[in-house]
């Protein structure tokens, strides 16, 4: 899983970030926002995000963290409507995420629930940071790595801003990974 080419410029990578109602889909937590940033030929070419209407109310602490309220998602499509289009868009491209285990756990839970193909190929920028000996950040959090590498993430904990920052981080560190 996860050992994809980091150095080729002709590949397409899809950076993904989710905002959710909690930490575990197996405990009823849901996806409320999906963000995508596409990297093609070593360049960021587009970003996109959309809200997802959950079945349950968004907890107040999640609204405080993300700024996403129940009113914002009230008229959005459900995960059953959004995820098939998302999976089709990804196709066979490699996913990139910061702390990918979190996002992949949610995605695969809902993909399985809908009978869609799981995500198998992914790259985790958090794990890549562990292999960059020149990284001097105090921890591997996205905010810390962005600060260290001078990447602006104006709206942290929002999917589109986080995917843009993760894409920039990936492009900065992929050639610094200790082989």
Catalytic residue numbers, as ranges: 157
Q: Please, are residues 161 and 153 in contact by the beta-carbon 8 Å criterion?
A: yes
3 state SS of 113: helix
Report how far Cα 86 is from the mean position of its chain's Cα atoms. Answer: 12
Match 């107040």 to its residue by tokens: 60
Question: CA separation (Å) from 120 to 35, 84, 90, 91, 113?
Answer: 19, 16, 12, 11, 16
| Listed residue (28, 14, 31) closest to 102, CA to CA | 31
């Amino acid at each position: 899983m996860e050992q994809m080419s980091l150095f080729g410029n002709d590949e397409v990578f899809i950076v993904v970030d989710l905002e959710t109602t909690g930490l575990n889909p197996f405990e009823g937590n849901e996806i409320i926002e999906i963000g995508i940033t596409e990297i093609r030929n070593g360049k960021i070419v587009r970003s996109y995000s959309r809200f997802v209407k959950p079945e349950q109310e968004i907890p107040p602490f999640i609204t405080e963290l993300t700024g996403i309220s129940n009113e914002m998602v009230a008229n959005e499509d459900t995960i059953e409507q959004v995820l098939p289009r998302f999976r089709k868009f990804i196709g066979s491209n490699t996913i990139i995420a910061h702390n990918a285990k979190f996002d992949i756990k949610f995605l695969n839970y809902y993909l399985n629930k809908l009978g869609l193909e799981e995500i198998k190929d992914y790259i985790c920028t958090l794990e890549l940071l562990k292999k960059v000996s020149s990284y001097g950040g105090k921890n591997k959090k996205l905010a810390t790595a962005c600060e260290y590498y001078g990447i602006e993430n104006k709206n942290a904990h929002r999917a589109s801003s986080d995917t843009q920052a993760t894409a920039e981080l990936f492009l900065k560190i992929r050639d610094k990974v200790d082989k």
